[in-house]
Each structure stands twice: as structure tokens, then as C-alpha cells.
Amino acid sequence: MTLTVGLVATAALLGGTVAAGAAPLSAAGKPAATFEAGRYVVTLAGSAVATYSGGVSGFDATTPAPGRQLDARSKNAKAYSEHLAIEQKRVAAAAGASVSASYTTALNGFAADLTSAQAATLYANREVVALERDSLRKITAESSTDFLGLGDATGAGGVWDTVGGVQAAGAGIVVGIVDTGIAPENPSFAGAPLGTSSGAAPYRAADGSISFAKSDGGTFTGACVTGVQFTATDCSTKIVGARYYVDGFGAARIGATSVGEYLSPRDGDGHGSHTGSTAVGNHAVAASVGGIDFGTISGIAPAAKIAVYKVCWSGPDPASRDDDGCATSDLLSAIDQATADGVDVINFSIGGGAAQTTVSATDVAFLGAATAGVFVAASAGNAGPGASTLDNASPWITTVAASTIPSYQATATVGSGLAYAGGSITVPAATVTGALVRGDLVAARRATDPLLCAPNSLDPAKVAGKIVFCQRGIYDRLAKSAEVKRAGGIGMLLVNKTASSLDLDLHSVPTVHLNAEAFATTFAYAGTAGATVTLTPGNTLGTAPPTPQVAGFSSRGPVLADGSDIIKPDISAPGVAILADGANAAGQAGTYQFLSGTSMSSPHMAGLAALYLGVKPAATPAEVKSAFMTTAYDTVNAAGAAVTDPFSQGAGHVDPTKFFDPGLVYLNGESDWMSYIKGAGNTGGGLDAVTAVDPSNLNLASIGIGSLTRPETITRTVTSTQAGTFDSSVSGLAGIDVAVSPSTLTFGAAGQSQSYTATFTRKDAPVDTFAIGSLSWTSGATVVRSPVAVKPVTLEAPVAAAGTGLTGSIDISVTPGTTADIPLATDGLAAGVLLRENKGGVNKPYSGVGTAGREITFTVQVPAGTAVQRFDLDSLTDSADLDLSVYRLSGKGGTQVAGWQSATASTDEHVDLRNPVAGYYQVVVSVFSGTDNYSLTTFTVAPGVGAGSFTVAPNPLPGVQGVPVSYAASWSGLAAGTDYLGLVRYGASGFSTIVAVKN
């Protein structure tokens, strides 16, 4: 059975990408949803322990004071947590459901297995803020420590020296890794056996928990949960916590068919061990791949502890990763528990595709974690280089792009004399020379994708003894070289058709991986008769690719959610060909692997946060993030020129040599984040008492304005970390005038705060595209730089306007973004059509009296060419609470393929669809309280079709940039007792205003 009450999207993890997270709360109320039986995450309106500031009778505030971490074990926290759990059970029981997982620390919510009726009942409950279908997310994959300037193989000569050496780098800090688990035998995670008394920290208490006194004065209290090939002795003075969560994914899916998977904290994939060792792995661990010695590796904060929260699992099909993933409900359990345990940092190399919201359940859980004092690093995603592909977009998260570092190379020299250097760890000490053939020209009969060297696509008779040109894409890179070897090939030239990463894979045959600049010439040459190629170890060209470059796969902004008023990603870090740990079974030696992805860049930032907090344990997540961002430097392109695009690099590449004393920091916290959420148009969830702030004015170390027509003033407050006088300067932002006031800030000591404003005015910048640049404050050698992105738009116009009367007029004001005439055009007016309900075989006007809980459904056909289709629900009883949902169907009587909803506190609701797809639509009226005494009317607005007269004047509208101007929309000749709808369009801008006339 399926009940139709709202629209819920699915989500995924970052190692591939799938459809993205839950729809946001909006000014129109809860998003439309279709509920089928299954597992759901239910978010409630009350504050979680981390964000509760008081107000519930009998329970004192539990949110931590500024600069302090949450004490989840305090008397008040435990009492309020128990209260929330009781309330969650009450809400679930009212719908006939049971709580299967409860979240109280970072998020107030629960997971439950629901029938469609139970889901609909919970969704109707006004204590429920959001209902999300549990979904699977996906994991995303010279040394980076050398590149970051932390120190050499001995730990000397860099940042580690300045913090007391590798033995002090991150000491007293616990990093939570929410991922695929851990391989405890690897030397990266070696530690001493746990003691049994507080004199030896960390120690195992009598109840089996693991306690650790942190550098901020708080205590981490974790657990070592045993399971398949994982015992209590696998935890140590290095691994101070190991838990796993599988209820959402389903333990029944973990079995003999899940190759290399373990129902325990043990890592069967290698991803979690890789991210964990990158962040906090021990120093100077010898690493080899395929028998090749690559020297030693180190985590960013080798003295920090690790707490593991396994949430990502391999499914039963070993040949496919489609059934692998991490369930949202399991993720929430891990985030909630990590916050309660007292971790200082969480790494989240997981995502679900391009962000549609900043307030999904995981976003809100991370808000709770950040409020509790936990720094959260998250992957930007691997869906680049397209725009607006980025995930994990919330401003309380530090979202990390992936960039390159100097890597292992080999050289491919083709017979024509052209030579290219590329990534490789498989070309032996001696050169490999052979005939070069192209995959599509040596295809097997009836082969699929031979140019991509798909499995069983190559003809051994044509490949034996040759080197094969294979295009990257679709199929696993290792599968390509395996196919070349199967067909008898002796080498592979793997070439990107579009710019992307150069990966260091352990291929089946000697392989050189080339980037897109080599594609056209090598593709053409490999198709000629007698073509040859020589693969030579090392880069023989005497040149090296400039670094750091943002990887082609790294997801980009701008974020479309919240009006593009925040810049994401926040920063870039190493994420290409990173050598770190892999997986192993119990009792086996540790393994190592090269991986690429924003999954690899995020733990670099998590480790750097541990490094920072080891020195400044009282620092808030916002301070850490700001220090990273304002001291970053520009990445480069393939030619070595500086890149200034904040939507690819964020503030730039992180620079540990500078971030400990950034000069100024931009601080923000839970109250600021809630104001931002409300300012972005969200409602519910305790936002009624919150003062909204324009998202552009959230006090971030970046400035974004997603729509600019007239001068806009942004306010920022900075807090000093040193005494001095700072002068402002602006770079880039071509065609935008920027006035900073005051232009100079003077601080007598660290810890002082001052505010400044920056007013942005368009001069001649192109409209409907972002102007980018930076704003800096400089004091001596200290430069505090913020990325800036401003988008001038053609105009700003009201979405809707309304008037009354058979003859009448209203004035509508718009603000032009340019100085030019604005031609106006009208569609309509379209007369409203009263829908009818078929009841007992008798057609009657859709107006009647029923009972609460009733749901009535209609089907409407929307014709081609419709400009606006409105569904208008008018309650005839002021006390009634009705909601309106609309779904596009796959055909007459078909399934739902898209949904919209109006579910406000108002007694009247409407849904407007602009330029809707022609076809059949299902209209659902849900009665939550009172009676269903109402009328439902549809309007179909189309060009050239209308009743009466509908005109606008003046036309064209004289536009002056930034100066509001009004026109009159007039009508006459309308029929009494009928409502009408029209549309005013503004030239070719794409902007329009819906005009409603009620009679």
C-alpha cells in the first residue's frame, strides 16, 4: 500500500554518487512525500541535548557554553536525553509504531519501520519536523604530509616540530571516523594494551567502557563492540572506540555472500582504514603496494586517538558496488553516539549527490554535533567538474575539495616522437616497448565498449603481445588492465577523455595513466598502422605537473540550496593518489593502497583539526574552520596559473604552516546557524522564536550573494588572534564596486572583536553570472583572506501579486539589475475551474463536510503549452487544518514521478507549477483537523488564451539599475463569482509574476 502525503528523495555515499538527500523544510511547510512501507528517520521539533537551551519544565539547559564541549554524561544531559526518548516513544506509539533507533544527543529523532499508514500519520503530526526514507549513501576515494609542510620521514623540519614533535601532534584529541570500519592489525593503528585504572589513560573501566582524558579537560568515553573477527583486545591506547551500526542497512545482507565483509567494526572494504590512517595514523609506518616499497607514511595528527563508527557495508553481490552503502538511520546513530562519546572531530567521507538542502537529517545532526563542540570535516563529492554538484553544503560543516600533490609517474613515448608523463606505479625498472593498438580497433565480435576495454571486449588474436589504448570511464580502472592481460596484452595506455585525476592503481599489466591533454593525439596515433609506444619508469620530460590542482572529479558549487548565498566548498586538501591503509582479515598483515577522491581530502582536514585542537583545545569548530580558510592559498591550473574560483577550491588550499595564528577569525555558533536556517526560508523545528538573518550575513569567512540588483551591504565580525592594525583590500570582482567600512581595523590585543561592512554595487559586471574575487585584511606579514562570489541578476520581481474585482488594477514593483527597458508580456487571465468529487457515482461540487483524517484524491489533465497551473484549496471553515499535495503521474492512472505540497499553518493552500510537463496530475487534499468543508479550484494559464482584458502599463517598463519601478496590471470584463489567474513575464529574463484576481 502507498499513501501520498509528501515527497521524499533518496540519498547515497561518496565513492560514487547517487541521488541526494532529503528535501528541506520550506516556507510552504513540509515537503511533499510519497510514503511506502519501509524504514524511516523521523525528526522531531524539540531541541536535542547538544542544542537545548532550556524551556521544558523540569529540565535545565544542556547546550555547552561557548568554547566548551558538551558533557553528554552530566546529570542534566542524561535526564533530558531520557525525556526525549520517552517523547519519541510517545509520538511513535500514537501512530502505532515502535522506535528501533533513538537519537537524542546531536539530533532529536528516531528510526522506525513503518507501514505507509503509520508514515502518513507521523508526517501529519505537528511535532514531527521531517520524515525521511532511510536510504543508502556512498563512500568517496612526495607524501601529503611532506606536501603540507608537516615534516619529513623523521618528523622533523616542519609544523610537527612547532607543536612539540610527532609525539605531541594531536595529543589529547579523539577523531571519530564514520566510515567502513578499521583494520586494527595495521601498524598505523598500533597501540599499547589498555590499562585498567585511570592512572593509565586511556583505560578500560570496570563496565568495559574506554575512558580517555582529553586535552580540553573533558572525557571521552567509548566502547569496544565485539563481532566477527573483532575482539576487545583490538582496542588499544590508539583505538579508543569501535562501534558498528547495521540495522538500517540490514544485518541479514551481511553474510557468506558478502565477500570481505564482517559484522563487526572490522573494515572489509579498506575505505575506513584509509581515511582513519590519513587523519591520525601513527608516524613512520612502512608501506608497500604490490611488493613495491613506497617508504613510510604518517597520519596528519599521529598522536591523536581514533574512535571508529562503522556505518558503511558491502552488499551480497561481490561483482557490484550498487548494493553497497550506508543507511541514513545508521549514520544518524553514529553521529549521535560519537557526539555523546565526546569525540573532538568527526570525519565524514560520505555523501548523497548534489545538495538540495542544508537541513536534511544528517545536516541537523551535524549542527547538533558542532554545537556540542565537534569539528566536522566532510567530502565535497566526486561528481565534478560540473557546476552545482557539491554535497554536504551546511555552513557548520567544513566541506573539502580534493587537490593534487606530486605523484609517482612514468612516461609514454609514442612512435611519432610525442611523449607524455602520467601516473604509474606499475612500469618496471626496464622500459616496456610494443605495438600500440586502440581498444575499439581490436574488439572481439559483438563486443560492448571495446574502447573502454570493458570485460571480454578485446580480441586476443589482435591484442596478444601489444600495448592497448583504453579510454577511462564506465568500468573500473583495474578491470580495464585485467581485460588487456586476459587478451594477452603486455601494457596499457589509460587516457582520460576529460580532465580528471591520474590514479596510482596496481594494474595487471604495466600502465601509464594520462590526462585529457594527451587524448586527441594518442587516440589518433593509436589508430594508425604500425603505431608503437614505449613506457618508461619515471618522468623523463624534466617537467612535473604543477600542484596543487583541484581534481576534475571534485564536486563544485555554487550550492543551489538557500539561494546560493553561501560559498562551498570551504577549502581544498590533498585527495589524489593518497597512500594509506587498506583492509585485512584478523591475524593478517596490514595492507596499503593508493586512493583518490574527496573521501581522501576530508580526513586531511579532520587530522589538521586535531592538530589545531591539540594546540588550542578550547577552539570552537567555527574558529578552526575560519583559521583554515583565511590562511589558505590559491590552487593552480594545468599551466601553473593561479585559480581564483571559489566554487572549485573554496578559500584555497589549506596551509598548516600559517593557520595557528590566522590574525583574525570569523566566529559563529548555534544561534547564528538557526537564524541562517530561518532566513533561508525554513519553518518549523522550533524556529518560531528565532530571528531570521539573510544567509549572506551569516558570519562566515567567505561572502556569497546569490542575487544582486541594487547595492547590498554585508556585515561581518572578526575576532583578533594578535594585536595589530589591519588594512582592507579587494581583489577580482570585475565590474563590482566594493566599499569596505571601516577600511582599517586596529586591535590592542588578542581576543578583541570588531565589525565591518562591505557594500557591493554592480557597475558593469555581466548579469546572471557570478563575479568572483576576495576581500583581505593585512597586518604586516599576516593576510586574512576571504573568498567572495556575487551574482548580479537581470531583475528581482515578486513571485505573486493579488487583486480583487471584475474590473481593477494593482501596482507591482520590480527592481532592475541593469539600466534598460524591460518589455512586459501577459498570459491569461484564466478562469478558475471548480473540481468535482465522484462520490457514490454522483458528481457533486467539490465542497462538503467530512471528518478529520480524510484524504480525497482527484486526477487533472494539464495541457501542453501551459505557462502556470495552479491548484487552489480554499477552506470554508477557519478552524480547519488542510494540506494540499500534487503529483505528476507517469500516465493516466500511472505512478507518481514528482510531487509538490502546500502545508502551511494557514487554512488555505495552493500549489503553482510553472511550465509544467503536460500530462496527468494527482491532486490530494488531506484533512488534519476540523472538517473538510472547502472548495478546490484549478487554473490553467497559457499564452494567447484568456478571459476579459488583461494589460500592463507602462510597457516597456523603463529600468534603472537598482531603482525599484512599478507598473500597473489591469483587468476588466470578468464574470462574477469566478476567480482568475494570469502571468506577467519580463522579456527573456525568465522571471515572471503570477497575478491572482479574486471575485
As annotated, the active-site residues are 179, 271, 599
Q: What is the 3-state secondary structure (H, E, C) of 97-129?
A: CCCCEEECCCCCEEEEEECHHHHHHHHHCCCEE
Residues 574 and 200: their CA atoms lie apart, in Å, by: 36
Check if the beta carbon of residue 822 is closer than 8 Å to that of residue 709. Answer: no
How far does the chain reach from its first CA to its final CA, in angstroms?
41
What Rg do the C-alpha atoms of the chain give, in angstroms?
30
List of long-range contacts for 50-54, beta carbons under 8 Å, 24+ apart? 50/105, 50/106, 50/339, 50/368, 50/369, 50/371, 50/372, 51/367, 51/368, 51/371, 51/670, 52/80
Element (H, E) at 365: helix 361-371
CA–CA gap between residue 544 and residue 526 (Å, rounded)? 25
Tell me the three state secondary structure of residue 671: helix
Alpha carbons 758 and 679: distance in angstroms, whole number: 20
The strand pair at 795-796 and 808-816 is best described as: antiparallel
| Sheet with 980-986: strands ordered across | 800-804, 992-998, 980-986, 824-831
- DSSP class per residue in 59-93: ----SPPTT----TTSHHHHHHHHHHHHHHHHHHH
> What is the DSSP code (8-state) at residue 812?
E
- Secondary structure element (H or E) that encloses residue 469, with its range: strand 467-471
**What are the backbone angles phi and psi of residue 976, rounded to the nearest 5°?**
-65, 145
Q: Do residues 566 and 467 lie in contact, with contact meaning Cβ atoms separated by under 8 Å?
A: no
Q: How far apart are CA 424 and CA 512, in angstroms?
A: 5
577: amino acid identity, one letter: A
C-alpha cell at 976: 462574477
**C-alpha span between 871 and 937 (Å, rounded):** 6
Residue type, 33: A
Is the CB of residue 575 less than 8 Å from the CB of residue 551? yes
Q: From CA 272, how far away is CA 230, in angstroms rounded?
A: 15
C-alpha angle 205-209-210 in degrees, rounded to nearest 5: 80
Which of 553, 565, 552, 608 lies closest to 398 in space, CA to CA?
A: 608
Classify each residue of 126-142 as buried b or exposed e, where b means 16 or more C-beta atoms within 10 Å of its C-beta.
Answer: eebbbbbbbbbbbbbbe
Strands 109-114 vs 375-379: parallel, antiparallel or unpaired: unpaired
Distance CA 518, CA 499 (A): 10
Q: Report the run of H or E that residue 486 belongs to, with start and end.
A: helix 477-486
Residues 6+ positions from 551 with CB-CB distance below 8 Å: 384, 401, 402, 403, 404, 500, 501, 575, 576, 596
Sequence-ordered list of residues with C-beta below 8 angstroms from that of 441, at least 6 positions apart, any chain: 462, 526, 527
CB-based contact 492:509 (threshold 8 Å): yes
User: Shortest CA distance to 610 belongs to which of 380, 374, 404?
Assistant: 374
Beta-strand relationship, 38-44 and 128-133: antiparallel
Residue 815 in contact with residue 710, Cβ under 8 Å?
yes
